[in-house]
Structure 1
């Protein structure tokens, strides 16, 4: 790089600055040159130069332009148009680029420094502003079994003020913008307990700090260049930080180095001085010693940036995955099937041939209803290799229930694949790769390809949703108490989840805290850990030495709980014997289930055939009757001809007799000779008789001909009639046989039977049907799943020796250990597959996917199940989708939309800049759910007040809310298509306060908060408390300021003290904006509207303009809702008119 001011002294540089302060070209050159100089004068001058640049927007833009020109000269520009992509891939690249640009402006924030620390512990925060650094001198001691590291924070940027500036520049149309509060670290550094930088990259840079000046200057095109800029910034900081002593000795970081690094990054990023704080502090981090390596850096940026960059790379290299093509809209369905209108497509979707051979045996053994079963069936029918199935789930329609059946089906598929191995050890191939651990080695084995593709990742943007699914799946009440044999590593699962469970079917991973907890409990726990269990199953007996607490002497050895409680086999030989028995049992059950489903499919085909069979029988009957009539008629005619023939023969014989008699009176010879008159008379008579005979013969000949023709016709008709009779008897027999089968099957299957009337029934009338499988069939399917879980345990037990090695290395990977070489890194998917063999489903937030699965290649996971997808920005799911072959996306675009803190005008401009449709790809209008919905061949349509909406496979049977909540939700969001299946339940709160109602409060307010509304809430709570009733309720509001004031009011009132277990926590958990309570439910809801003033019409209209807020608010209440607010103002606020019309005053 050229340095035009290289030969200038510091005095000359100062003179140049004073004389040419208005020259942006010189200022940029000074900034560049001073960056290479370390004197105090150079540092002061550099600060002045940067301050001058940052205070003048025009110079700043010119500086960007000049720097851009220089960048063009230093390295070739990568332009999307220069890439070798087809048109559709370019469009996909543009979508990813736009999402990346949005995400560089999405920082991670904190309000208090301890929020960056493990468990929010304030003792882990160390100030670096003055005094000795924590690692100087003797340094600090670590905790037992942990290594101490420090995350050094290089200043912070004020996020709220920064977003306000963006709003000032771009404007914002949103009435209630979610505040992005607190500060964001500008950069962070990791050092060990000696103050030495860890291996590169030891530095993390904030993309927000880099992007903010560019966005403020309107330079949106730069936002797509973050990945290149990040690398240069990291390298620049490390040059400053990696100081060397004599003979290249590595020295600990000093405060001067840290300060220099801070000044360099502030100056380099050209951040406005009023937005930054020289907030230098460190966060102590205790890293479990068995995890190896060093911890990951603090996450400063969007969780999704790296995966978006990975996806851009895949598109450029023409390696985009099939599922990602669908998600980005590069492939669309050839044909659509509207399940509300196309009854034939719906009937086929629920056909027995599409049923999985198993199901989840839930408590009560309730079957899935029509559309739930359709969604499960379509999942396995349409996603055999890859693809996306979006499921639209309104509140309380059984989304989790649906996911459980899908999980059961996937597990059973893998169990079948496991059964191909006579010896499970053969499923793990030796690779020759190994890792040294202390005095031994852990070998890495390749998992057979046939066992891959069944990994289940459960993901959501909502922490609560992730925890809910992963804690509900293994819960003891998630399965029927009728099956106590359904147990799967139960003791380990109990410890892992901290409650009683039935088995280790799921685990919550994702963030570092969850991963570390999982590792310690799942692997290292000597009582219940999998390492202990697998060692025993491998033939290495495990013992725990019980010691006398007073003397420390060993009293007696005993077996760990995992060995006893979970029945670990004592050796590999026993494990194989158990495996072969369980494998055969499973194969028998699976064959039985499939055979029964095949029989049901035959019944279905008979039902479908009935109309045709009836038509055939009717046609054959009519044909037979017609032929009989024709035959009868022709037969009569033939008889008539035969009679005519007989009569003619008689007449002929009579003529012949007359001729014979006439011959007898023939005159004698002489009379003939002499021509007597008598002879002449005789001859005339003879000729007359002969003519008569000839005429009769002609008549007979004609009659014979007609008789012959008619006889042939009769024979042919008779033959046709006989054939028609046979055909009729056959069709009648087929109809009777099919009808007998249908009648008998209908009697056996009961109300699960799908008959011919299905096609013609009203849509709502069929929604509660649980199609085809009666209780007996469902029991078979239950047993198949139970057996599949036994197969998994027996397989793992029999493969214990090799599985233990893979899992041992997998725990290192989870701890952050990096593989030493490419060969080992390529085996990471096999390590994950090994973990999924033991724990079938693993959950995480989208935010943690890249950090947890960053080294997993595309399509290395079988399935991703996305929950609450309507809440997630569309780019959030990219990391999960690109790593999976199949995705089931469950959510509801009519509930809470994604939260976006950036001004909508800015985000729309970014989308416009990258030439993508902001309505399709930009939150909050779009979400993971809406983008997935657009990929579906199976759809449903809702016509709401906000227009026509097309979604994926719908769920409609509602089981959460009674009236009026159900009807309000159904009217404002679901086009009256939901079906009520919830019966009114008991409600002590309703008994006390009364049925759902609107409490009208006329008040005024400058900031949407009404003290009078708050007082009414307190009075209601007091009334409930006085009766000593459980406060099983949520207090929610559309507005953040109202929620904050409600929390403060209730906290300061101390009303919860002496009432609930944790009175200080209750306001945070039970009071909030509507956005905070999706996925939750309670007996009652108090809906505090706020915005009571006449002048706050805009806020009210914002809340009522879409169904989302009102829909979520009312559907949190199972039994009763109380609305508090100014009725006369709110009832005209869009959809709140529906709320008013259904609630008494």
Structure 2
């Protein structure tokens, strides 16, 4: 636990450091404020009016009227430029270097107040706090801040007024800096840091998104909680690999549920499912999922399988939480769980409750916008979706709908919820038992006939073999008679004296005259009648034995065939036409596909209705007095009940700890450690380890899915600061020790949850973790670029080549439009290329209607996207599309690769921006960016720009792309 405790401290301190940023307010709008304004909590009228105007911007009057207060920051301590001029240059201090920031609210009358609701408190930028590897300047230490906050929690809780807040601010400042708040300098380690008299106030654009994560970290450290999953995740060495699990009958039997009946699992998806069955307590399964390889289908299958398993055992549903860091990733999950295509097997495919449309519930921070998108939003107090579902009116309408659909499906009168529950469970278990019995039969048959032969074909082969052996035996009998007849043609005296060895030459010559073609291999000289007869007698015996054995096999396989046909009839009685009259071999993959779409899909829906019956019957329902409470026992009831009807709970890691936080007593709470059965991390390659790590303590197992070759996390720490935190937390001894953290991925400045999880996974396929191989999104010509660029050829393209189909646009799948330009224009840290913008917009306007006609059944939003490395270029393209009054411009997505993460379009245009003299630094510095950009295109990927900016060596991202583009110019 000691090692884990140190790593927890390190990650917690990384969060603290990134939560207390050094704000560059010199580039924004800031306004002077005097100390007497701060002391009196009254800002001058001219200042607060300007701040409100800045906040309002182009806001509607209605929204302006509703704005009663705004969030502001006060910076009362700024370092003088001449602290020591040579040191300032060395430390690279900025002209306005704020050392202390005070968050507050400001109302329309200019009154300052403490903003307790946001949980934000004054802070010192982490760059100026010890320990540090490459210091700017030192005004205090992390240890002093931690000590102060730990010792003054009660004081924090009691603050309600501005004077109390101001007293806390001054006390805090003096404790950390060892300097008086009114002093004009800070003295630290005999170094004197001079401060200006200036103070500033400006709008607060920071977001304290890590508040709940930090709270869980603090609780973990205080309680010293031991969690097998968290220990596994934070282990500072790579887990040894073990052999992969084979796909066999036993694994097929363990797979019980499939949410999607339209598409069966691919071989690599099934491989993941097989390994999920083998998870032990505290284990992490890492899955590398390149674009278009079916991560969504996989997640649906994992959830469905666990859900059905629990229903079969009559247990509480599994608690499954799917999480990531950005809203786009989690809403992609929510949308996929709400868009389950029906396959036409009747009323069983419908929800038998009213007011529900998805198998996922969204625990988001801002409920109203998400609710407006049709998401089922709630929190751990049962607001919104849960409140509506639990209303008397919805319960009544749900009971009516359930009874009606139950009667339709089972063809009998609805009696009661308990009777329905038992009936549904009985059918579910019958189907699952039939599936397992059928698979046992398959294994028996497979042992006899092998993998790919059909039963009837095998029986026909047996008949052919029996007939052949019978012919051989009959022929042997005939030849014995022939040989005897030929021998008896010799004179009787020759035959009489032959035992004495006389006339042997004559007898030999006589017998040789009777040999037939092919018989020389069976009969060896010298030919003797007795030996000839013995050879043929043995042959007859062997063939008769073979015939007997073949008859036994035939009788056995016919019995098994009879059982096979009886089982197909049995499945039909259960409403499942397994093969639809098609002859099927004993290939396990082919059988699995049938079982996915027919049996496991039906099992999932029966489990849905089983849990709906329990939910309607009031199982795990909170009392009126318990509703809205967060006691541990109440939350257990709440989550068990909610997961009956929505088996996947979706939330960001910023909100996850809050939802599993339990009230114990005033100022006392605890977390539901190891309560979540499965934590699913999606887009794990985009999640920095310190953001997700504490949530692992709340779960038993984790499935981590992502791709390190797509967009990387946004890291908030520099490597020197990260190194300092690792040393101070005692997980490394010196700067050089950080190399080991880099190798295993446990760091906060250059890693991701995907890398850490891969290290902790005991399986390996093309590197640590499993790998989804089958790609179905893009034409082979498009995805081949990504395969060559980052996946070492391990992707298996299954969409096919565009050469094998009649392309709708008669354009190459990957091509370019040359736009001559020598240089792009810098816009701050971004770039623009106006000539490129004009050509792109011209092409879109001239071609969009042609594209629209080519895909008449496709939503307009899914047709064309424009990707560019630079925000400034994206803004210019959007502005140009709008200014040209192109009616469909709202249907064209324009942005950087981050805009398109998880998305796809029929046509992707890549605006490279660079001129011939610029090079392609941004493209070549991050192959993952080009991997994401190209893999968004289903049918066509076109580069618009100056080809000469791209490298000639095909080893770089731009050079490889150039090699794919040559010869494919579009006009």
Please give the range of the TM-score, normalised by the shorter of the 2 chains.
0.5 to 0.7
Which of 194, 201, 218 aligns to 1:279? It is 201
Determine if contact 2:909/2:942 at 8 Å carries over to the other structure: yes
Q: 1:597 to 1:106 in 2, by over 3 A?
A: farther
Distance 2:427 2:20 in 1: 56
Superposed, 1:256-295 pairs within 5 Å as 278-279=200-201
Which of 250, 265, 272 aligns to 1:368? It is 265
Distance 1:507 1:970 in 2: 35
Determine if contact 2:256/2:309 at 8 Å carries over to the other structure: no
1:794 is the counterpart of 2:794? no
What does residue 955 of structure 1 align with? 772
Distance 2:695 2:555 in 1: 52
C-alpha deviation, 1:260, in angstroms: 6.8
C-alpha deviation, 1:771, in angstroms: 4.7
Distance 1:113 1:832 in 2: 45
| Cα offsets for 1:230-272 (capped at 9, x unmatched) | 3457666677x55xxxxxxxxxx46x77777767767776699
What does residue 411 of structure 2 align with? none
Distance 2:106 2:350 in 1: 44
Say which SS state the counterpart of residue 938 (structure 1) adopts.
coil
Determine if contact 1:527/1:561 at 8 Å carries over to the other structure: no
Distance 2:634 2:382 in 1: 27
What does residue 671 of structure 1 align with? none
1:773 is the counterpart of 2:592? yes
Which of 701, 705, 713 aligns to 1:890? It is 705
Say which SS state the counterpart of residue 847 (structure 1) adopts.
coil
C-alpha deviation, 1:1023, in angstroms: 2.1
Q: 1:600 to 1:527 in 2, by over 3 A?
A: same
Distance 1:199 1:1138 in 2: 53
Determine if contact 1:205/1:230 at 8 Å carries over to the other structure: no
Distance 1:398 1:276 in 2: 57
C-alpha deviation, 1:586, in angstroms: 2.4
What does residue 298 of structure 2 align with? 402
Superposed, 1:747-896 pairs within 5 Å as 770-773=589-592, 775=594, 778-799=597-618, 803-805=621-623, 809=626, 812-813=628-629, 824-825=631-632, 827-855=634-662, 856-896=671-711
What does residue 508 of structure 2 align with? none
1:1122 is the counterpart of 2:942? yes
What does residue 155 of structure 1 align with? 74
Superposed, 1:554-565 pairs within 5 Å as 562=398, 564-565=400-401
Q: 1:383 to 1:479 in 2, by over 3 A?
A: farther
Give the structure-1-normalised TM-score.
Answer: 0.57
Which of 242, 253, 256 aligns to 1:336? It is 242
Which has the larger share of helix? 1
Superposed, 1:376-391 pairs within 5 Å as 376-379=273-276, 381-383=277-279, 385-391=281-287
Q: Which runs of 5+ in 1 are unaligned?
A: 1-84, 115-125, 135-142, 173-181, 243-252, 284-296, 340-344, 420-449, 494-502, 537-541, 544-558, 611-722, 756-768, 814-818, 942-949
What does residue 416 of structure 2 align with? 574
1:309 is the counterpart of 2:218? yes
Q: 1:868 to 1:151 in 2, by over 3 A?
A: same
What does residue 865 of structure 2 align with? 1034
C-alpha deviation, 1:781, in angstroms: 1.8
Q: 1:1110 to 1:1028 in 2, by over 3 A?
A: closer
What does residue 874 of structure 2 align with? 1046
What does residue 409 of structure 2 align with? none
1:463 is the counterpart of 2:327? yes
What does residue 662 of structure 1 align with? none
Q: 1:268 to 1:106 in 2, by over 3 A?
A: same
Q: 1:273 to 1:1006 in 2, by over 3 A?
A: farther
Q: 1:221 to 1:908 in 2, by over 3 A?
A: farther
1:509 is the counterpart of 2:326? no
C-alpha deviation, 1:880, in angstroms: 2.8
What does residue 1013 of structure 1 align with? 836
What does residue 230 of structure 1 align with? 149
What does residue 981 of structure 1 align with? 798
Determine if contact 1:562/1:568 at 8 Å carries over to the other structure: no
Distance 2:77 2:612 in 1: 52
Determine if contact 2:102/2:121 at 8 Å carries over to the other structure: yes
Distance 1:276 1:982 in 2: 64
Say which SS state the counterpart of residue 832 (structure 2) adopts.
coil
What does residue 497 of structure 2 align with? none
C-alpha deviation, 1:311, in angstroms: 3.7
1:968 is the counterpart of 2:890? no
Determine if contact 1:128/1:280 at 8 Å carries over to the other structure: no
Distance 1:869 1:844 in 2: 14
Q: 1:394 to 1:785 in 2, by over 3 A?
A: same
Determine if contact 1:857/1:883 at 8 Å carries over to the other structure: yes
Q: 1:354 to 1:335 in 2, by over 3 A?
A: farther
Count of residue pairs brought into register by the alignment: 774
What does residue 473 of structure 1 align with? 337
Say which SS state the counterpart of residue 308 (structure 2) adopts.
helix
What does residue 1112 of structure 1 align with? 932
Determine if contact 1:157/1:277 at 8 Å carries over to the other structure: yes
Q: 1:987 to 1:577 in 2, by over 3 A?
A: same
Aligned alpha-carbon RMSD (Å): 5.6
Distance 1:375 1:1001 in 2: 48
Distance 2:449 2:90 in 1: 67
Distance 1:864 1:778 in 2: 26
| Cα offsets for 1:812-853 (capped at 9, x unmatched) | 25xxxxx5xxxx345433332232233211101112212333
Say which SS state the counterpart of residue 279 (structure 1) adopts.
strand
C-alpha deviation, 1:1135, in angstroms: 2.5
| Cα offsets for 1:312-335 (capped at 9, x unmatched) | 446xx3x42111122112686454
What does residue 326 of structure 1 align with? 232
What does residue 414 of structure 1 align with? 310
Say which SS state the counterpart of residue 680 (structure 2) adopts.
strand
1:933 is the counterpart of 2:751? no
Distance 1:398 1:892 in 2: 13
Distance 1:898 1:1112 in 2: 14
Distance 2:420 2:282 in 1: 35
Structure with higher Rg: it is 1
Distance 2:660 2:764 in 1: 32
| Cα offsets for 1:374-403 (capped at 9, x unmatched) | 111211x22254421111111100000111
Distance 1:1112 1:93 in 2: 33
Distance 1:111 1:382 in 2: 56
C-alpha deviation, 1:410, in angstroms: 1.4
